Protein backbone atom coordinates (compact mmCIF):
# COMPACT_ATOMS: atom_id res chain seq x y z
CA UNK A 1 0.00 0.00 0.00
CA UNK A 2 1.49 3.32 -1.09
CA UNK A 3 -1.20 5.66 0.25
CA UNK A 4 -0.25 8.15 2.92
CA UNK A 5 3.46 8.54 2.17
CA UNK A 6 4.89 11.96 3.02
CA UNK A 7 8.50 13.10 2.77
CA UNK A 8 9.78 16.10 4.70
CA UNK A 9 12.89 17.36 2.98
CA UNK A 10 15.08 20.21 1.81
CA UNK A 11 15.29 20.40 -1.96
CA UNK A 12 19.08 20.77 -2.10
CA UNK A 13 19.93 18.13 0.51
CA UNK A 14 21.95 15.24 -0.87
CA UNK A 15 20.24 12.92 1.59
CA UNK A 16 16.88 14.14 0.44
CA UNK A 17 17.91 13.25 -3.11
CA UNK A 18 18.87 9.76 -1.96
CA UNK A 19 15.44 9.25 -0.39
CA UNK A 20 13.52 10.57 -3.38
CA UNK A 21 15.64 8.40 -5.68
CA UNK A 22 14.74 5.30 -3.68
CA UNK A 23 11.06 6.24 -3.81
CA UNK A 24 11.31 6.78 -7.56
CA UNK A 25 13.02 3.42 -8.13
CA UNK A 26 10.14 1.75 -6.29
CA UNK A 27 7.59 3.95 -8.13
CA UNK A 28 6.04 5.14 -4.86
CA UNK A 29 3.93 8.31 -4.98
CA UNK A 30 4.35 10.65 -2.04
CA UNK A 31 3.47 14.08 -0.72
CA UNK A 32 6.40 16.47 -0.58
CA UNK A 33 6.80 18.88 2.36
CA UNK A 34 9.61 21.41 1.95
CA UNK A 35 11.50 22.31 5.12
CA UNK A 36 14.85 24.06 5.47
CA UNK A 37 16.77 22.73 8.49
CA UNK A 38 19.40 25.45 8.00
CA UNK A 39 16.96 28.33 8.28
CA UNK A 40 16.48 30.56 11.32
CA UNK A 41 13.97 28.62 13.41
CA UNK A 42 13.09 31.35 15.86
CA UNK A 43 9.32 31.90 16.21
CA UNK A 44 7.17 32.17 14.30
CA UNK A 45 7.86 29.04 12.23
CA UNK A 46 5.65 27.32 9.70
CA UNK A 47 3.29 24.51 10.62
CA UNK A 48 5.33 22.20 8.40
CA UNK A 49 8.51 23.09 10.29
CA UNK A 50 6.83 22.51 13.65
CA UNK A 51 5.67 19.08 12.46
CA UNK A 52 9.14 18.26 11.11
CA UNK A 53 10.94 19.32 14.30
CA UNK A 54 8.58 17.18 16.36
CA UNK A 55 9.49 14.14 14.27
CA UNK A 56 13.29 14.50 14.30
CA UNK A 57 15.00 15.84 17.42
CA UNK A 58 18.26 16.18 15.45
CA UNK A 59 16.70 18.59 12.93
CA UNK A 60 17.98 16.74 9.88
CA UNK A 61 16.25 15.81 6.64
CA UNK A 62 14.65 13.74 5.31
CA UNK A 63 11.83 12.42 7.45
CA UNK A 64 9.43 9.83 6.03
CA UNK A 65 5.85 9.52 7.20
CA UNK A 66 3.85 6.46 6.17
CA UNK A 67 0.45 6.46 7.75
CA UNK A 68 1.14 6.78 11.47
CA UNK A 69 4.73 5.56 11.13
CA UNK A 70 7.43 8.25 11.20
CA UNK A 71 11.06 7.54 10.36
CA UNK A 72 14.27 9.54 10.10
CA UNK A 73 17.85 8.64 9.09
CA UNK A 74 18.24 8.11 5.35
CA UNK A 75 19.63 4.56 5.44
CA UNK A 76 16.68 3.48 7.59
CA UNK A 77 14.27 5.24 5.23
CA UNK A 78 15.62 3.64 2.07
CA UNK A 79 15.65 0.17 3.62
CA UNK A 80 12.08 0.66 4.79
CA UNK A 81 11.03 1.91 1.35
CA UNK A 82 12.51 -1.21 -0.21
CA UNK A 83 11.04 -3.67 2.28
CA UNK A 84 7.61 -2.12 2.91
CA UNK A 85 6.53 -1.62 -0.71
CA UNK A 86 6.27 -3.67 -3.85
CA UNK A 87 8.49 -3.02 -6.84
CA UNK A 88 12.05 -3.95 -7.79
CA UNK A 89 14.17 -5.24 -4.93
CA UNK A 90 16.89 -2.76 -4.00
CA UNK A 91 18.92 -4.94 -1.63
CA UNK A 92 21.07 -8.01 -2.34
CA UNK A 93 19.85 -11.40 -1.17
CA UNK A 94 23.17 -12.94 -0.13
CA UNK A 95 24.65 -12.17 3.30
CA UNK A 96 28.00 -11.24 1.75
CA UNK A 97 26.52 -8.75 -0.70
CA UNK A 98 24.14 -7.37 1.90
CA UNK A 99 27.05 -6.82 4.27
CA UNK A 100 29.02 -5.10 1.50
CA UNK A 101 26.07 -2.82 0.82
CA UNK A 102 25.88 -1.90 4.51
CA UNK A 103 29.63 -1.25 4.52
CA UNK A 104 29.37 1.09 1.52
CA UNK A 105 26.49 2.99 3.13
CA UNK A 106 28.51 3.39 6.33
CA UNK A 107 31.54 4.66 4.40
CA UNK A 108 29.33 7.18 2.60
CA UNK A 109 27.82 8.50 5.83
CA UNK A 110 30.92 8.44 8.02
CA UNK A 111 33.73 9.34 5.62
CA UNK A 112 32.40 10.61 2.27
CA UNK A 113 29.60 13.03 3.10
CA UNK A 114 31.58 15.70 4.91
CA UNK A 115 34.52 16.16 2.49
CA UNK A 116 32.61 15.46 -0.73
CA UNK A 117 29.43 17.39 0.03
CA UNK A 118 29.91 19.78 2.95
CA UNK A 119 33.39 20.82 1.88
CA UNK A 120 33.90 20.40 -1.87
CA UNK A 121 30.33 20.76 -3.15
CA UNK A 122 29.17 23.29 -0.57
CA UNK A 123 32.20 25.55 -1.03
CA UNK A 124 33.01 24.86 -4.68
CA UNK A 125 29.48 24.97 -6.10
CA UNK A 126 26.69 25.76 -3.65
CA UNK A 127 28.23 28.88 -2.09
CA UNK A 128 29.03 30.54 -5.43
CA UNK A 129 25.64 29.48 -6.77
CA UNK A 130 23.85 31.37 -4.00
CA UNK A 131 26.26 34.25 -3.64
CA UNK A 132 27.66 33.07 -0.32
CA UNK A 133 31.23 33.43 0.90
CA UNK A 134 33.48 30.52 -0.05
CA UNK A 135 35.57 28.92 2.69
CA UNK A 136 38.70 28.19 0.70
CA UNK A 137 40.30 26.23 3.55
CA UNK A 138 37.31 23.89 3.76
CA UNK A 139 37.30 23.45 -0.03
CA UNK A 140 41.01 22.63 -0.07
CA UNK A 141 40.61 20.17 2.82
CA UNK A 142 37.82 18.34 1.02
CA UNK A 143 39.81 18.16 -2.21
CA UNK A 144 42.74 16.65 -0.31
CA UNK A 145 40.57 14.02 1.36
CA UNK A 146 38.33 13.04 -1.55
CA UNK A 147 40.74 10.91 -3.66
CA UNK A 148 41.36 8.36 -0.89
CA UNK A 149 37.61 8.01 -0.34
CA UNK A 150 36.95 7.48 -4.04
CA UNK A 151 39.72 4.87 -4.20
CA UNK A 152 38.24 3.00 -1.23
CA UNK A 153 34.78 2.91 -2.79
CA UNK A 154 36.11 1.99 -6.24
CA UNK A 155 37.81 -1.05 -4.70
CA UNK A 156 34.35 -2.52 -4.08
CA UNK A 157 33.12 -2.07 -7.67
CA UNK A 158 32.13 -5.45 -9.14
CA UNK A 159 31.97 -6.50 -12.76
CA UNK A 160 28.68 -5.42 -14.25
CA UNK A 161 26.92 -2.09 -14.58
CA UNK A 162 26.32 -1.41 -10.88
CA UNK A 163 28.46 -1.31 -7.76
CA UNK A 164 27.61 -4.83 -6.62
CA UNK A 165 27.22 -6.38 -10.04
CA UNK A 166 24.18 -6.86 -12.31
CA UNK A 167 21.46 -5.39 -10.07
CA UNK A 168 20.97 -1.85 -8.83
CA UNK A 169 21.04 -1.67 -5.02
CA UNK A 170 20.86 0.88 -2.24
CA UNK A 171 24.64 1.18 -2.54
CA UNK A 172 24.17 2.80 -5.95
CA UNK A 173 21.27 4.93 -4.76
CA UNK A 174 23.21 6.30 -1.80
CA UNK A 175 26.49 6.86 -3.64
CA UNK A 176 25.32 8.49 -6.85
CA UNK A 177 23.97 11.77 -5.39
CA UNK A 178 27.21 12.19 -3.42
CA UNK A 179 29.36 11.80 -6.53
CA UNK A 180 27.01 13.87 -8.65
CA UNK A 181 27.42 16.74 -6.20
CA UNK A 182 31.19 16.24 -6.11
CA UNK A 183 31.28 16.31 -9.92
CA UNK A 184 29.60 19.74 -9.98
CA UNK A 185 33.00 21.10 -8.94
CA UNK A 186 35.57 20.78 -11.79
CA UNK A 187 38.30 19.34 -9.55
CA UNK A 188 35.83 16.77 -8.21
CA UNK A 189 34.73 15.75 -11.71
CA UNK A 190 38.38 15.28 -12.67
CA UNK A 191 38.99 13.05 -9.66
CA UNK A 192 36.16 10.76 -10.69
CA UNK A 193 37.32 10.66 -14.31
CA UNK A 194 40.69 9.46 -13.04
CA UNK A 195 38.96 6.28 -11.80
CA UNK A 196 37.46 4.78 -14.99
CA UNK A 197 35.29 2.21 -13.22
CA UNK A 198 33.61 4.90 -11.11
CA UNK A 199 33.31 7.32 -14.03
CA UNK A 200 31.65 4.69 -16.23
CA UNK A 201 29.28 3.78 -13.40
CA UNK A 202 28.48 7.47 -12.81
CA UNK A 203 27.63 7.99 -16.46
CA UNK A 204 25.36 4.93 -16.45
CA UNK A 205 23.55 6.18 -13.35
CA UNK A 206 23.17 9.68 -14.80
CA UNK A 207 21.10 8.28 -17.67
CA UNK A 208 18.50 6.57 -15.48
CA UNK A 209 15.10 8.28 -15.75
CA UNK A 210 14.70 8.15 -11.97
CA UNK A 211 17.96 10.04 -11.51
CA UNK A 212 16.99 12.67 -14.07
CA UNK A 213 13.52 13.10 -12.57
CA UNK A 214 14.74 13.50 -8.97
CA UNK A 215 17.88 15.56 -9.54
CA UNK A 216 17.85 18.92 -7.71
CA UNK A 217 17.83 21.97 -9.97
CA UNK A 218 20.40 24.69 -9.36
CA UNK A 219 21.00 27.97 -11.12
CA UNK A 220 24.26 28.51 -12.99
CA UNK A 221 26.90 29.61 -10.44
CA UNK A 222 28.76 31.49 -13.15
| Ordered structural domains, the chain, with CATH | 5-84 (3.40.30.10), 95-214 (1.20.1050.10)
Q: In angstroms, rounded to a whole number, what is the distance separating the alpha carbons of residues 214 and 7? A: 13
Quick: pLDDT tens for 58-79.
889 999 999 999 999 999 999 9
Rounded to 10 degrees, what is the CA torsion of 87, 180, 103, 74? -60
The pTM score is 0.93
DSSP state of 28: -
C-alpha–C-alpha distance, residues 36 and 15, integer Å: 13
What is the Cα–Cα distance from 62 to 99, expressed in whole angstroms? 24
Q: What is the pLDDT of residue 171?
A: 98
pLDDT above 70: residue 17: yes
pLDDT average, residue stretch 124-149: 97
Q: What is the pLDDT of residues 87-104, one digit of tens each?
A: 999 999 999 999 999 999
Averaged confidence pLDDT in the chain: 93
Per-residue DSSP letter, 155: T
Residue 75 CA to residue 105 CA, distance in Å, equals 7
CA-based nearest residue to 120, from 61, 22, 188, 65:
188
Residue 45 vs residues 36, 40, 48, 99: alpha-carbon distances, Å: 11, 9, 8, 41
Edge-to-edge strand ranges of the sheet holding 69-72 = 31-34, 5-9, 63-66, 69-72
Amino acid sequence: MTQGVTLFGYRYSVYNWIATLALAEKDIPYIWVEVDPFSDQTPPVSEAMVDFLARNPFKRVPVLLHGDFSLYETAAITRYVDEAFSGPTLQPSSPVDRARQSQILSIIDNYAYWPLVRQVFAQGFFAPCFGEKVDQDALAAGLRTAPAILDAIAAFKRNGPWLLGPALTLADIHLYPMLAYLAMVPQGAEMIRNIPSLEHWRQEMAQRPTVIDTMPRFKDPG
